[in-house]
Chains A and B, each alone.
Chain A
Amino acid sequence: MTATTYRTGADARISVEQWIRMYRRMVSIRRFEEQVNELYTRALMPGLAHLYIGEEAVAVGICEALRSDDYITSTHRGHGHCLAKGASPDRMFAELLGKEAGYCRGKGGSMHIADPATGNLGANAIVAGSMGIATGAAFSAKRLRTNRVVVCFFGEGALGQGVLYEVMNLAQLWKLPVIYVCENNLYNEYTHYSETTAGDILARATAFGLSAESVDGQDVRLVHEAAARLVEASRQGKGPAFLMCKTYRYHGHHVGDINREYYRSKQEEQGWKTERDPIQRLRDWLIKENLTDAASLDRIDSEAKTEIEKAVEFALAAPYPKPGEVDQDVYA
């Protein structure tokens, strides 16, 4: 660590540079997602996308605790995870537009970004679809002694899938280095999670002997602190863990989900946006603690905006894959 400013308590080991990096990442993700919405609205993006706006602190706080060769698996709401793990926005946009320059040559699209270079095993459009994959990557890490840790991101809707309980059992039996990160944004599509989820969520993990905790997912400092601790323990051979991050998606389930009042109120949405915004919170804290000033953060904001705008331009100008691409890569 290079910085000289250290914080106390939970923030003890985090340098100012790291906080600034996390701030920049969160802002980038938000600008990225705003552009995705824009592309959809202007009918420039094929299909739909599930925006991560509001949940940025989860991906960023957690990925900041990972090595670049650690693995993640992601979900249909995955842009934030991929960016936080180091994906570059231009190739992400290219993928979302189905272009050859995209991470998956345009074959995957919004819900399937994968990138071995950043340890991204892939986003998955099947709810709970990557739980086996994440656990298997942890098996490899242990077996091959790479000392890697795997983070399996999933929404609270995935708690409904039985495979989670099968892999948590396996991971605990075999002490695999995997962290199951449940992003509880309160809604499975259009249904409040309390209508689909019985009992105590953390108890589902502790029943298998995993250490399990819950954290305010709108506070990147708390998310990061918990993640750093759990990842380190897992890396040291203590086995799997379960982390629930309480969060909120500001937009609809997907970009086309505009009229939402039948399942949640505008007031509720407004409350989360104005009182618990993760970017604003970090910003306020950084300034209050005199770790930086508003002007520096404004500069980051505008740099992020420019970067994202350039990335969109790149993707819009990029060519589609050639027709011959269609039957490539069915087999290795």
Chain B
Amino acid sequence: MPEAVRELTFAQAVREALAEEMRRDERVCILGEDVAEAGTPFKVLSGLVEEFGKERVLDTPISEAGFTGLAVGAAMTGIRPVVDIMFGDFITLTMDQMVNQAAKVHYMSGGKWKVPMVMRTTLGATRRSAAQHSQSLHAWFSHVPGLKVILPSTPYDAKGLLKTAIRDENPCVFFEDKMMYKLRGPVPEEEYTIPLGKADVKRAGRDITIVATSSMVQVALGAATLLEESGISAEVIDPRTTWPLDEKTLIESAKKTSRAIVVDEGYVRYGVTAEIAAVISAGAFYNLDAPVKRIGAMHVPIPFSPPLEDLTVPTENVVFEAARELCAHA
């Protein structure tokens, strides 16, 4: 990267991606609750309605199923909607529209109809918001053929991946960790996009592979720093999309290091960590010195009480300890 690269917050990067795509393509519009003047409760969209007007930045009623379904139909017929679901917990209300409609239309029509839409939503706990505003449900959509699922971990990735998603011909779901909106990072002024299905090595290492998604990438990087102090060199890889999944990069890394941990803020059971661990176990089987370790949210609804909530999410220390234990395996 060139030297004095400009820094943006994660929220600014998302907004800039939307603004650029809306300037580039008149068909792109935004639909959601309090997206216009309010710019969403997280203020991610502030300023867009001023530039693009209320015809392209539309405040909806609190009707997630309705406006998501509308977006599916609009996408099929010439609009490129970006739907805003305020909290990831509310994707449950859109499930039929996304799973039975958006994900199926292209296949069921023998490839005749397309659904080029994006759903943006959030994930992540520790905001003291309790069980209905803290979940990380991205595994649900990752389970469904026909949907693409994107989990950016830096402002740079957020911008590049969102632009690609908007240009994609398929329904894409874009998960933003609400605790990352203020995270700063370099984002060049020049136009760029990032392909879906391409993992990124966030830190190179020799002794252990830590695969991490979304805000867990920061946790993994923190753990890698701790590990370095104890003489363990960790490689941190961010798949960036759970589907399509860059299996090759994950497997190659695990083959090289012979040990792997997968960290994701969703639930472990039947979750993203299960899939990625299976991919690595199968692909790097003969090179592994230890079983692949999975770390995710504790298998409980997220509690409100801060000391309890903090126990439910993976931390640097948990990842650090797990890595040390794995490295103790001969």
A residues neighboring B (CB under 8 Å): 46-48, 98-99, 104-112, 124-129, 157-162, 188-191, 195-197, 262-263, 320-321, 323, 325-327, 330
| Bound-complex Cα distance A139 to B41 (A) | 37
User: What are 30 A-B interface contacts by the 8 Å CB criterion?
Assistant: A46-B128, A47-B304, A98-B128, A98-B304, A98-B307, A104-B304, A106-B308, A108-B131, A109-B129, A111-B132, A112-B132, A126-B132, A159-B61, A160-B60, A161-B62, A162-B66, A188-B61, A189-B38, A191-B33, A195-B59, A196-B59, A197-B61, A262-B37, A320-B308, A321-B305, A321-B308, A323-B311, A327-B298, A327-B299, A330-B299
Closest to A263 in B: B37
Q: Is the CB of B37 within 8 A of A190?
A: yes
B25 to chain A, nearest CB (A): 26
Closest to B311 in A: A326
Choose one: A107, A124, A157, A263; the contact of B305 (CB below 8 Å). Answer: A107
A95 to chain B, nearest CB (A): 8
Choose one: A98, A129, A159, A162; the contact of B306 (CB below 8 Å). Answer: A98
| Interface of B, helix, strand, loop or mixed by DSSP | loop
Q: Is the CB of A47 within 8 A of B307?
A: no
- State whether the Cβ of B133 lies closer than 8 Å to any Cβ in chain A: yes
Choose one: A48, A108, A330; the contact of B300 (CB below 8 Å). Answer: A330
Q: Is the CB of B34 within 8 A of A189?
A: yes
- State whether the Cβ of B154 lies closer than 8 Å to any Cβ in chain A: no
Q: Is the CB of B304 within 8 A of A188?
A: no
Closest to B63 in A: A160
| Interface of A, helix, strand, loop or mixed by DSSP | loop
- State whether the Cβ of B65 lies closer than 8 Å to any Cβ in chain A: yes
Q: Is the CB of A188 within 8 A of B62?
A: yes
B216 to chain A, nearest CB (A): 20
Number of interchain pairs (Cβ within 8 Å) = 126
B299 to chain A, nearest CB (A): 7
- State whether the Cβ of B90 lies closer than 8 Å to any Cβ in chain A: yes
Choose one: B60, B90, B300; the contact of A126 (CB below 8 Å). Answer: B90
Choose one: A110, A196, A325; the contact of B61 (CB below 8 Å). Answer: A196
Binary flags per residue of B54-75, CB closer than 8 Å to A gives 1, else 0: 0000011111011000000000
B residues neighboring A (CB under 8 Å): 33-34, 36-38, 41, 59-63, 65-66, 89-90, 93, 127-133, 298-301, 303-308, 311-312
- Hey, which chain A residues are within 8 Å of B311, CB to CB? 323, 326
B132 to chain A, nearest CB (A): 4
| Bound-complex Cα distance A190 to B303 (A) | 27
Closest to A111 in B: B130
| Bound-complex Cα distance A196 to B67 (A) | 12
- Hey, which chain B residues are within 8 Å of A98, CB to CB? 128, 304-308
Interface centre among B127, B303, B312 (most CB of A within 10 A): B303
Q: Is the CB of A330 within 8 A of B301?
A: yes
| Bound-complex Cα distance A158 to B301 (A) | 24
Choose one: B63, B65, B127, B304; the contact of A107 (CB below 8 Å). Answer: B304
Sample of 7 more A-B contacts, CB < 8 Å, known A106-B305, A326-B303: A46-B304, A125-B129, A128-B62, A188-B62, A196-B61, A325-B305, A330-B300
| Bound-complex Cα distance A196 to B63 (A) | 10
Q: Is the CB of B62 within 8 A of A112?
A: no
- Hey, which chain B residues are within 8 Å of A158, CB to CB? 62
Q: Is the CB of B308 within 8 A of A126?
A: no
B40 to chain A, nearest CB (A): 9
| Bound-complex Cα distance A46 to B303 (A) | 12
Q: Is the CB of B130 within 8 A of A190?
A: no
Q: Is the CB of B304 within 8 A of A160?
A: no
Q: Is the CB of A109 within 8 A of B33?
A: no
- Hey, which chain A residues are within 8 Å of B63, CB to CB? 160-162
Q: Is the CB of B34 within 8 A of A190?
A: yes
Q: Is the CB of B62 within 8 A of A47?
A: no
Q: Is the CB of B38 within 8 A of A263?
A: yes
- Hey, which chain B residues are within 8 Å of A325, CB to CB? 303, 305, 308
Q: Is the CB of B128 within 8 A of A47?
A: yes
Interface centre among B298, B304, B308, B312 (most CB of A within 10 A): B304
A50 to chain B, nearest CB (A): 12
Interface centre among B128, B130, B298, B306 (most CB of A within 10 A): B130
| Bound-complex Cα distance A321 to B309 (A) | 11
A87 to chain B, nearest CB (A): 16
